[in-house]
Amino acid sequence: MNIVQFSHLISVAGLTAILILSPLSAVTAAESVDFKTLKSPVSYSSASIAKGKALYLRYCTECHGADGKAQIDVIADATDLTEPEAYYSGTSEGEVFHSIRDGAGVAMPPFSFQIKEEVDIWHLVNFIRSLWPTDQQPALAK
């Protein structure tokens, strides 16, 4: 192969790499979500809170306790969910969603494997906000 053929080969390889890699980087960019401003598609309603509560009782009490306070019979160091000031990872609806779906800190496991429908994670977000002091809860949707 002479030098012209060789450099042609290199540029074809380079172009192929660009064509293969650029859609990948587009996907990565699309996934970098700003959770602080991410809005819930599920309104804060009694029906949603009830669904979230059922999921909470099934998946979360062993560490956070039935009342969310993580005080009695629970695995150490889980956040008191009734106290927004105690949260380390943010209290906007998107940030709470992120903590539940993807895990938080060192010991909060991600739940995306067990709770597959994102709508169910949003129901959990709504239930958790219903544990907050009344003046910090969102307005209940009719």
Query: How far is residue 108 from each of residues 33, 60, 72, 142, measured CA to CA in Å?
Result: 20, 10, 17, 33
Which residue, 11 or 71, is less far from ligand HEC as judged by CB? 71
According to CB under 6 A, which one of 51, 65, 93, 100 is a site residue for ligand HEC? 100
Nearest to residue 63, comparing CAs of 131, 109, 31? 109
CA dihedral of residues 100, 104, 109, 113 (deg, nearest 10): 50
Binding mask 60-99 for ligand HEC (x = CB under 6 A): x-xxx----------x-xxx-------xxx------x--x
Q: Which residues bind ligand HEC (CB under 6 A)?
A: 56, 59-60, 62-64, 75, 77-79, 87-89, 96, 99-100, 104-109, 111, 124, 128
